[in-house]
Structure 1
Amino acid sequence: MITFSQLTAVSAAHALAPLSDLLQACVADGASVGFTDARDRQAIERFWQARIATLSGGSDDLLVAWQEQIPVATVTLSSCTMPNGYHRAEISKLLVHPQQRRQGIARQLMLRAEARARTREKTLLVLDTRSGDVASQLYLSLGWQIAGAIPHYACSTEGVMEATTLMYKLL
């Protein structure tokens, strides 16, 4: 059974190791989520430590899907803190453990992130995803629109430069 929760900085800090395991598994499976070497555990843990710090500031929300008290998926909603952008937020790090994919978990997390954005009175969401990635179909099915693409945006886990697709959704 999959359950969902929103983590605080304290609860996320307690889940640092399993969150790092999740991110490491996704990178090892080739996910384009900012990392190129799944073996660099220190970099992965530093990422989560930095993300946990933003949770205490109140501008970010970390939503997690759990199975048997183990995080199997995450998504982050980051509110813009600049005065001209209070109406928007960014979706990032939609991670689903490779063994848990194709079960609708990512869809549920995205719907929950959108609901949280509405609660925060956001009217625009943005994200970027590797061009051609299967996640693009999920986003499109949820009503996201393609704004454009940037070639040679990120280096893949295989060392190949790949494009990213910028997407948005008006709430």
Structure 2
Amino acid sequence: MTADITLHALGAALSQADLASLSALLIDCVEGGASVGFMLPLLITRAEDFWRQKAAQAACGDHAILVARDAGGAIIGTVQMVLAQPDNQPHRGDIIKLLLHRSARRLGVGEALMRAAQTLAVEAGKTMLVLDTSTGSDAERLYTRLGWQQAGGIPDYALFPDGRLTATTVYYLPLTSVAQHAPATGAGR
């Protein structure tokens, strides 16, 4: 990862600049074809509503939102972790919405965000992480490289933003090895 990128967790209150940056990031990903829950065209008001909802979930401790900023302070990547789980699954966290601006891909930003999320999960007492991603996506290579194990696939699970069907692949990561190698300083840099 380039030295001018910083990682940190967002607090519960989003500044107007962060809301704009996160919304622009989400729109860029959807316009780039990422199957992340939204269809084209993604309006700015819809993207802002999504991020306000996520900030509210972070405020009550249900979610964690990690971001990567460029040297100018713009958010160029983010990943979320669902911390609140059913009573019989308090040990598990769900990784959702790894988003990287198209200009920030293949620079190590995604890997840095995922490693920070894994460390945050360990600090939160989680011992298992799960995620799903569009089958055949670039993200699959990243997850495999980081030690995630493929649990299986589901055909025709979701839609790409243009309406085409896509399969999804489900992954899991036991955190015992992550806990042994976690830095003492946590997710921030």
Instruction: Report the TM range for the smaller structure's normalisation.
Output: over 0.9
Preserved contact between residue 14 and residue 55 of structure 2 (Cα < 8 Å) = no
Aligned residue for 2:81, secondary structure, equals strand
1:25 and 2:33 matched: no
d(CA) in 2 for partners of 1:90, 1:79 = 7
Kept after mapping to 2: 8 A contact 1:12/1:52: no
How far 1:40 sits from its partner (Å)? 2.1
**Larger RCO, structures 1/2 (Cα 8 Å, 6+ apart):** 2
- Between the aligned residues of both structures, percent identity stands at 41
Matched, 1:8 2:11: yes
Q: Which runs of 5+ in 1 are unaligned?
A: none
Aligned to 1:149: 153
Amino acid paired to 1:87: H
Q: Which residue of structure 1 aligns with residue 182 of structure 2? A: none
Partners of 2:16 and 2:65 in 1: CA distance: 12
Shift of 1:2: 0.4
Which ranges in structure 2 are unaligned for 5 or more consecutive residues? Answer: 176-189
Contact 2:23/2:48 (<8 A) preserved:
yes
Match of 1:96 among 83, 96, 100: 100
Off by >4 Å, runs of 4+ in structure 1: none
- Higher helix proportion (structure 1 or 2): 1
- Looking at structure 2, the residues matched to 90 and 35 of structure 1 have their Cα atoms a distance apart, in angstroms, of 19
2:10·2:67 contact (CA, 8 Å) conserved in 1?
A: yes
The root-mean-square deviation of aligned C-alpha atoms, in Å, is: 1.2
Distance 1:156 1:110, change over 3 A: same
Following superposition, the deviation at residue 38 of structure 1 comes to 3.9
Alpha-carbon distance between aligned partners in 2 of 1:23 and 1:111, rounded to the nearest angstrom: 21
Count residues with an aligned counterpart: 171
TM-score by length of 1: 0.96
